[in-house]
Amino acid sequence: MTQQWMISSDSHVCERPDLFTTRAPARLRDRMPYVVQEEGVDYWVLEDDVKGTVAGNSTGAGDRFDWDSRPPRQTFEDIRPGAYDPEAFLSDNEQDGVWGAVLYPTQALLYYSLMSDPEVRRASFDAVNGWIIEFAAKDPGRLKPVVLLDTDEPAYAARELERLHELGAAGANIPVWQDADHSYDGREYEPLWTAAEGLGVPLSMHIATNRPPFGKILFSYSQRATLADYWVRKSLADLIFGGVFERHPALRVGSVENEAGWAAHFVTQIDHNYKTNYRVPERVRFKDGKLPTDFFRENVFVSYSEDRAAIMLRDYIGINNLMWGNDYPHGESTFPRSRQIVAEQLSGVGVEDQYLLTCGNVAHLYDFRLPAEVASAAG
């Protein structure tokens, strides 16, 4: 691989233990997520129930390369400072060949499925959204924050998107899957699609953000490894066949951290079914002879980390639809060997495609303004 600067389409920040309690309205503070320490281990407590450790494998950048030799991470102090300090974040990533990053929360992503109280969920999202915008504001040219939207009431989500975009949000996350009665082909979401399209804000569907009960399956190791992309495929199909992209041609919606090899099969199947399935009671027909893959190519983006199959099938998926992410600072991230891993993954790929996959596509989607020296090094 040609050595060049990369931009990560999927990186994270890790919430401080007091983030939710200190940023919540006074009347809600005793109901917000908080941290307790038991026998030297920090645990998140959510709705009076322990919901995982603060410093588990998901917050250990580089841990995958020495699982057997390093002690387990037990407390917030064990987390790499780049997970919560923007200067350390930029320094770590720059040493790893990553010039800029799209930022997602960590703990709060799980609240779509784990939190039942809608008022507390919204307050938790508000707390983390404000913090991640402030984090990225330390260097807005290199850090692009993605906020979390509660879409149980789409009109509320649309208003929040407008407010948060004004404050600096570059993107917004919606659940990978809402529920069977409120799938994304429903007209109730029109205010949200209209707002996102008008603002030019990409909407992400990050892994582990399903609404219940489906979100909980991601905590099973075998199911996480085999079923994660099912729900994002279902939602994308609803958006395509529901005519959302036909009504909103500038809307961009994407899959994040669900890898990408599945997309090659997906695009062939949506066209095949569109052309051959004559038994559907209300058979969808798009204007101007468009096919489902046309909307996928024009409106959908897919973020991956390590997926050689997707790279080999990039012409099926669409070279402009794919973008690499390092998942820093999580335990499965490519840090600190991103250059090496990406070079192996992109073996045999032409220079122009390398640039699009590791820098160009995400820079275009999130309006990264590359300085001359970075643009030159990137190709």
Domain assignment of residue 262, yes or no: yes
The answer to the question of residue 48 being in a domain is no
Structurally, the chain folds into a number of domains equal to 1
pLDDT for res 52: 86
Q: Would you write out the chain's pLDDT as a tens digit for each of its 379 residues? A: 556 899 999 999 999 999 999 999 999 999 999 999 999 999 999 999 988 899 876 778 888 898 777 788 899 999 999 999 999 999 999 999 999 999 999 999 999 999 999 999 999 999 999 999 999 999 999 999 999 999 999 999 999 999 999 999 999 999 999 988 999 999 999 999 999 999 999 999 999 999 986 545 555 666 666 777 999 999 999 999 999 999 999 999 999 999 999 999 999 999 998 988 755 546 678 999 999 999 999 999 999 999 999 999 999 999 999 999 999 999 999 999 999 999 999 999 999 999 999 999 999 999 998 877 666 655 5
Residue 349 lies in a domain: yes
Residue 259's CATH number: 3.20.20.140
Structure tokens at 379: 């190709």
Q: String of b and e for 320-337 (b: at least 16 CB within 10 Å)?
A: bbbbbbbbbbbbebbbbb
- Name the percent of the chain in helix, strand, coil, to the closest 5: 50, 15, 35
Question: Does a structural domain hold residue 132?
Answer: yes
* Confidence (pLDDT) at 110: 93
The sign of the dihedral angle between the CA atoms of 183, 101, 144, 78 is positive
pLDDT at position 219 is 57
Residue 190 CB neighbours (<10 A): 15
Whether 324 and 346 have beta carbons less than 8 Å apart is answered as: no
pLDDT at 372: 74
**Residue 153 CB burial class (10 angstroms; 0-12, 13-18, ≥19):** middle
Biggest distance spanned by C-alpha atoms of the chain: 65
Domain span at residue 147 reads 6-34+81-378
Query: What is the predicted pLDDT for the residue at 57?
Result: 62
Helix (H, G, I), strand (E, B) or coil at 7: strand
For residue 74, being part of any structural domain is answered with no
In-domain check, residue 311: yes
CB 204 within 8 A of CB 112: no
Output the six-digit token pair for 311: 């790279």
Kindly state whether residue 150 falls inside one of the protein's structural domains.
Answer: yes
| Coil vs helix vs strand at 51 | strand
pLDDT (0 to 100) of residue 278: 59
Looking at the domain assignment, is residue 57 inside a domain?
no
Q: What is the pLDDT of residue 17?
A: 97
